[in-house]
């Protein structure tokens, strides 16, 4: 007991030392009533980061969207997430939420907040227009479970039973990163549940909530060195041209966006060595108060902690070595944590290429000059860790020029890291929006992507279903060659089964409608998604775009309607048609019809990926005939 009391006292002293250190100008805002306001969230002009504004009204924290305000029910600074309370119903007798007047939740995409993929949305009181959407609006949809399971309580949810059309979907796709729409011509009400276990009865579902996440904040803005502590220097931000300065950490320190300070780099990996450092710190703090006893107690706990970490690292190493050795790619290697940290400048924010709900991707340069991209799962995010490990497992079994090439993974750090070749020209989605790709270039990208997917379906053993084919997952190298990427949702097909049964995941606008109805995944699910990509190549438009007319929000539905009206060429990007030869126009029409065949509602009527690749190759042959002439 004495040793435990001394140990507790020592920890309190350490905490006291940390809390009395001089702070950067990144000051945490005062509590709002009983609710803490962690950095970088800001409730006033002199605290937090001004890009992360929320409001304190009385004792209630509020999150402001573009057109509404929602109460904040919980905040997790460790995972950089907060949960807001969805809008209530207009009354106990109507199945309409109050924010229908403001078209639902509309986040400002220029701010560092987005909707996470952990939300399950129950759309209620929907019109028949939604039946043609990629949402799950079937009678088996989870929304019916919710309405029926909640009806005993009466009120608005019971009123929703009189509106039989309801739908369910998971957030996180490109169209739901910043919006949950409610409107008269779509769905008039919604509920959202975070990390929902659908196997539980409705009575045991969590309280309704919509989870948002925020991007890690940069170093705090400063106007003078006095705004920074002794571990940082106020200097101009090299990434901005507006004369803004920030408190940049000194060498040997790194910016900790959660603690809002410059934290010392941890370089010691030896339990004995690290233990002696900790013992020295504790001894200095508690000199004259049981130094010897504290040293022994602290040393014991430090040793035990490092032993647990070492055992966990060894276990992770064995698991990931097994994954690498089970694949057929001999060039894949195990990188050390030191190599990866050096390559990415200790995961510097200026090396960040992109971030999503499951992790971040960093630019890196290895010692031999090889330029790489490093995908890093978020600590504590089980889905993210599983997806990165799954991607390692998949990529270790494939080797094709049109698939992103894995170089290896790191086993020393707690979160899994995937190291793959760096593809410098960004995504197909980016370039389609800029409308810079020529028709021949688009055909070659389509052919390369189709060949990569055909390889997964027909040459990989066992076959692999990608499950998330979309233009943002097609990377372009310096010669505009396509590389299919992001295998986090991919699955290996069983030799004795024609499909894989799984819950619906992927991106709205690209998902196979049959997938929503029966949750059976086949190679034809990838064919459907690729058909949408072909339409993007043809039209330069997004798969889901609420700026189009109400009935044309879904690109696949829009083009199929034009085909039925024999107006397929009206869908083609006018910039492509301008100055095009009659032969090129014919190939555009041919690619459009091929895309529509990939979008057949019944998967048995869709071509295989190999047939699609062969057809595109034939179209390219026709398009190149004008050169021969």
The catalytic residue positions are 468
Distance separating alpha carbons of residues 629 and 627, to the nearest angstrom: 5
Instruction: Mention every residue, 6+ apart, whose C-beta is less than 8 A from residue 575.
Output: 435, 540
Distance separating alpha carbons of residues 95 and 217, to the nearest angstrom: 39
Please state the residue numbers annotated as binding site: 375
Specify which residues 376 forms β-bridges with.
360, 417
Distance separating alpha carbons of residues 31 and 473, to the nearest angstrom: 42
CA distances (Å), 146 to each of 21, 140, 169, in order?
Answer: 51, 11, 13
Q: How far is CA 515 from the centre of its chain?
A: 21
Other beta carbons within 10 Å of 330 = 9
CA atoms within 13 A on the CB side of 525: 31
CA distances (Å), 214 to each of 234, 378, 439, 505, in order?
Answer: 25, 13, 39, 22
DSSP structure class, residue 176: S
Q: Closest Cα to residue 93, out of 29, 158, 149? A: 158
Q: Which two tokens mark 461?
A: 């053993």
Other beta carbons within 10 Å of 238 = 9
Please provide residue 570's backbone torsions phi and psi, each rounded to the nearest 5 degrees. Answer: -70, -20
Instruction: Mention every residue, 6+ apart, whose C-beta is less than 8 A from residue 520.
Output: 499, 500, 501, 514
DSSP structure class, residue 602: S
Distance separating alpha carbons of residues 266 and 264, to the nearest angstrom: 6
Q: Closest Cα to residue 87, out of 108, 110, 63? A: 63
Strands (E), 250-405: 253-256, 261-264, 333-335, 352-355, 359-365, 371-377
Distance separating alpha carbons of residues 14 and 78, to the nearest angstrom: 21
CA distances (Å), 521 to each of 107, 416, 468, 516, in order?
Answer: 32, 27, 11, 10
Q: Closest Cα to residue 23, out of 253, 285, 231? A: 231
SS (H, E, C) 360-410: EEEEEECCCCCEEEEEEECCCCHHHHHHHHHHHHHHCCCCCCCECCEEEEE
Distance separating alpha carbons of residues 235 and 225, to the nearest angstrom: 8
Specify which residues 334 forms β-bridges with.
409
Distance separating alpha carbons of residues 85 and 75, to the nearest angstrom: 12
Please state the residue numbers annotated as binding site for ATP: 375
Strand duo 406-410 + 333-335: pairing:
parallel
């Amino acid at each position: 007991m004495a040793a435990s009391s001394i140990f507790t006292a020592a920890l309190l002293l350490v905490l006291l030392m940390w809390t009395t250190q001089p702070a950067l100008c990144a000051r945490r805002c005062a509590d709002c009533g009983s609710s803490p306001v962690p950095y970088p969230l800001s409730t006033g002009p002199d605290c937090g980061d001004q890009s992360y504004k929320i409001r304190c009204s009385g004792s209630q924290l509020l999150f402001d969207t573009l057109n509404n305000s929602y109460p904040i029910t919980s905040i997790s600074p460790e995972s950089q997430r907060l949960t807001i309370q969805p809008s209530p119903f207009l009354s106990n007798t109507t199945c309409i939420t109050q924010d229908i007047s403001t078209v639902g939740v509309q986040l400002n995409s220029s701010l560092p907040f987005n909707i996470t993929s952990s939300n399950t949305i129950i759309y209620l009181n929907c019109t028949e227009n939604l039946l043609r959407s990629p949402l799950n609006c079937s009678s088996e949809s989870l929304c019916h479970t919710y309405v029926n399971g909640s009806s005993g309580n009466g009120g608005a949810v019971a009123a929703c039973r009189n509106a039989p059309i309801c739908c369910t979907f998971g957030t996180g796709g490109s169209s739901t990163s910043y919006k949950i729409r409610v409107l008269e011509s779509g769905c008039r009400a919604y509920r959202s549940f975070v990390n929902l276990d659908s196997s539980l009865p409705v009575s045991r579902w969590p309280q309704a909530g919509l989870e948002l996440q925020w991007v890690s904040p940069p170093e705090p803005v400063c106007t003078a060195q006095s705004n920074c502590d002794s571990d940082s220097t106020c200097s101009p931000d090299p990434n901005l041209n507006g004369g803004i300065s920030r408190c940049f950490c000194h060498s040997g320190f790194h910016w900790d966006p959660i603690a809002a300070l410059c934290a010392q780099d941890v370089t010691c990996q030896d339990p004995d060595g690290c233990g002696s450092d900790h013992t020295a710190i504790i001894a200095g703090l508690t000199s004259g108060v049981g130094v010897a006893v504290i040293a022994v107690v602290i040393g014991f706990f430090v040793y035990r902690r490092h032993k647990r970490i070492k055992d966990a690292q060894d276990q992770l190493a064995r698991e990931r070595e097994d994954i690498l050795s089970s694949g057929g790619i001999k060039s894949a290697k195990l990188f050390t944590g030191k190599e990866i940290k050096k390559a990415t400048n200790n995961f510097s924010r200026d090396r960040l290429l992109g971030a999503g709900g499951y992790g971040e991707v960093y630019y890196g340069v290895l010692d031999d000059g090889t330029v790489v991209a490093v995908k890093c799962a978020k600590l504590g995010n089980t889905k993210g860790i599983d997806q990165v490990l799954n991607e390692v497992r998949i990529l270790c079994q494939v080797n094709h020029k049109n698939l992103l090439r894995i170089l290896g993974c790191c086993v020393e750090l707690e979160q899994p890291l995937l190291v793959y070749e760096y593809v410098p020209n960004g995504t197909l989605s980016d370039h389609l929006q800029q409308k810079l790709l020529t028709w021949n270039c688009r055909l070659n990208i389509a052919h390369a992507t189709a060949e990569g997917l055909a390889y997964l379906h027909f040459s990989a053993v066992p076959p692999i279903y990608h499950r998330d084919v979309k233009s943002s997952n097609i990377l372009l190298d310096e010669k505009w060659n396509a590389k299919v990427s992001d295998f986090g949702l991919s699955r290996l097909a069983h030799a004795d089964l024609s499909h894989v049964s799984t819950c619906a995941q992927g991106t709205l606008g690209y998902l196979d409608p049959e997938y929503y109805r029966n949750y059976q995944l086949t190679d034809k699910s990838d064919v459907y998604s690729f058909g949408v990509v072909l339409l993007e190549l043809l039209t330069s438009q997004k798969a889901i775009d609420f700026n189009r007319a109400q009935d044309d929000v879904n690109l696949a539905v829009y083009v199929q309607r034009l085909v039925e009206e024999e107006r397929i060429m009206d869908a083609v990007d006018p910039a492509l048609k301008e100055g095009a030869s009659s032969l090129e126009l014919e190939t555009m029409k041919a690619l459009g019809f091929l895309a529509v065949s990939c979008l057949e509602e019944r998967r048995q009527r869709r071509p295989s990926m190999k047939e699609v690749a062969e057809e595109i190759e034939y179209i390219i042959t026709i398009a190149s005939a004008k050169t021969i002439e």
